A and B are shown apart, each in its own frame.
Chain A
Amino acid sequence: MARWRRDRGLQVRMIVTVLLLALVYAAFIAVLTYLGAGPLLLLGLVALLLVVQYFLSDRLALSAMGARTVTEVEEPRLYETLTRLSALANMPRPQLALVDSRVPNAFATGRSPRHSVVGLTSSLVRMLTPEELEAVIAHELSHIKNRDVMVITIASFLSTVAFLIFRNWFFFGGGMQGGRGDGDRSLWFVLPLVAAVVWAASYLLIRALSRYREFSADSGSAVMTGRPSHLASALAKISGLMERVPTKDLREVEGMNAFFIVPAISGSSIFELFSSHPPVEKRIAALERIERELA
């Protein structure tokens, strides 16, 4: 087992974030319940939607990224790296997908380790050394091992509900007024406001949570490969290049993000190396800390 000191601070921040999120959601549910059963019905409907999204997430994400799953015969070296890391971490080996893109990036998706895919863009594969690629693949495997897709899907569930209410309050408000006669009608127009506040607060908290998950995956990569310096150099390489990528390519990336209409859904389906990410300098500093503890 890796014997270096765990980042307790990171775990405390993560727990606090989740508790705050739970608090925001609890308040939201309290308001919804006060207003009658109608919103609960809506909650059920969105839950159903999310379950469907949860089970389709891998395919949704892959088609949105324009990713193509490849076989072991096509990419023997990448698969061998994936195989060895999966064996070390004692997890089922995910499938590998490639995206033909000039933007170097990597992502992990899938609801469980058994149904997961690691995606790499062609430019990333070209740009990085085998050791750096191994570190990036280990980072994505950590996301899968930590079940980050599930964590964020659950965390953003009520946020999605709030967002939908806020966007469609006329429709929902009108539809639900007949649901319960004794509900306080004057409160109905407060609902979109409450929903907006819930959405904004939970959005920030989810962003924070996914940043912490990124840090965790970085340290996971360091544990798996035993070589934090390779991930650090990969991150430095990618971020350096990303700044110089022409705007046209960046717009292409924007296009891929826009494929997801509800922001919370896009956030939960995909764990990109560089989405809602902490600054690269901070990530590299954290990796260097692990490096010092190793030596």
Chain B
Amino acid sequence: MAFRDALDALLGRTRLPEAETERLFAISTAVVTLQTSLDLAPSGRGALCVKPIESSRYDAAMAEIRELLDYSCRETGSTCRLETDSYRFTWVVLEDPDFEDLVTGIHLVSQTLIEHGFGAYLLCAVFRFDGATRVYWIFNFKQGRYYPFVPGPGTTRDSAQEFRLRSLLENELPIEKEVERWYPLWGIPI
């Protein structure tokens, strides 16, 4: 893998890494610890952020996702919407009181995009938890790992709380080891 990366660099090929969704479900079990030891309850809201690309195949994939979501929303009584943020990234926002269903829904959307060949353009999945503060767990599809994000007022973040979250959930969640990759996301629409 490292050799292929080096070869790509030497030949000037830019390859976006594929999405890694296997460990997305780890959050379903971590939810218990979050609730019991941190008093953080799932807000029932989750979102997926994807970079829209200039292609009719992409438009077709998004149309299919919309159809799929409309259908599953009618079935389960959850809600969903599509949003475009000010950076022109698309957010698929799902609301479902059942946390496991929510994670499954997010996984379904990501899987559909991967099947259509747009897995590389999945930026992240986000789950919101509410307690004394607002806490986000962000899933980075490139690493297949989670990291905590606790936004403060403006563009500040509560790093102390984030490190505390990491130390408490280290054994249950695959947490991104390199803190430099804990990219903040301002203005998450959930």
Q: List A residues at the B interface (Cβ < 8 Å).
A: 1-3, 6, 10-11, 14-15, 72-73, 76, 80-81, 83-84, 86-90, 92-93, 130-131, 134, 142, 145-148, 151, 212-213, 215-217, 219-221, 223-229, 291, 294-295
Contacts and interface: CB of A to CB of B under 8 A. Distances in A.
Contact of A1 (B54, B55, B87, B120): B120
29 contacts: A1-B120, A2-B120, A14-B12, A15-B11, A83-B183, A84-B51, A87-B123, A87-B142, A88-B16, A88-B121, A89-B16, A89-B17, A90-B143, A147-B9, A148-B12, A151-B10, A212-B12, A220-B12, A223-B16, A224-B14, A224-B16, A225-B51, A226-B58, A226-B121, A228-B54, A291-B54, A294-B53, A294-B55, A295-B56
A290 to B, nearest CB: 10
Given A84-B87, A90-B143, A131-B88, A146 B186 contact: no
A6 B13 contact: yes
B117 interface: yes
B52 interface: yes
Contacts of A229: 54
Contacts of A84: 51, 87, 89, 123, 183
A146 B54 contact: no
A93 B120 contact: no
B155 interface: yes
B181 A146 contact: no
B173 to A, nearest CB: 19
A89 B13 CA distance: 12
Interface residues of B, number: 36
Nearest to B52: A226
The winner among A15, A148, A220 for most chain B CB atoms within 10 A is A220
A130 B155 contact: no
Nearest to A219: B14
B15 interface: yes
A15 B11 CA distance: 8
Contact of B180 (A6, A93, A148, A223): A93
Interface in B78-103: 87-89
Given A145-B9, A151-B10, 18 more contacts: A1-B15, A11-B13, A83-B184, A87-B124, A88-B51, A89-B14, A90-B17, A90-B142, A142-B14, A216-B14, A217-B12, A219-B14, A220-B12, A223-B15, A224-B14, A228-B54, A294-B53, A294-B54
Contacts of A14: 11-12
B110 interface: no
B183 A93 contact: yes
A81 B12 contact: no
B51 A216 contact: no
Contacts of B51: 84, 88, 225-226
B21 interface: no
B162 interface: no
Interface string B49-91: 0011111101000000000000000000000000000011100
B140 interface: yes
Nearest to B53: A226
B9 A2 contact: no
B117 to A, nearest CB: 5
B157 to A, nearest CB: 10
Nearest to A83: B183
Contact of A213 (B12, B58, B117): B12
Contacts of B142: 87-88, 90
Nearest to B155: A76
Nearest to B124: A87
Contacts of A72: 155
Interface in B102-150: 117, 119-121, 123-124, 140, 142-143
A212 B10 CA distance: 11
B59 to A, nearest CB: 10
B52 A216 contact: no
Contacts of B120: 1-2, 88
A87 B55 contact: no
Nearest to A217: B12
B183 A295 contact: no
A226 B87 contact: no
B180 A92 contact: yes
Interchain residue pairs A-B with the least CB separation, the first 5: A226-B53, A216-B12, A220-B14, A90-B142, A294-B55
Contacts of B14: 89, 142, 145-146, 216-217, 219-221, 223-224
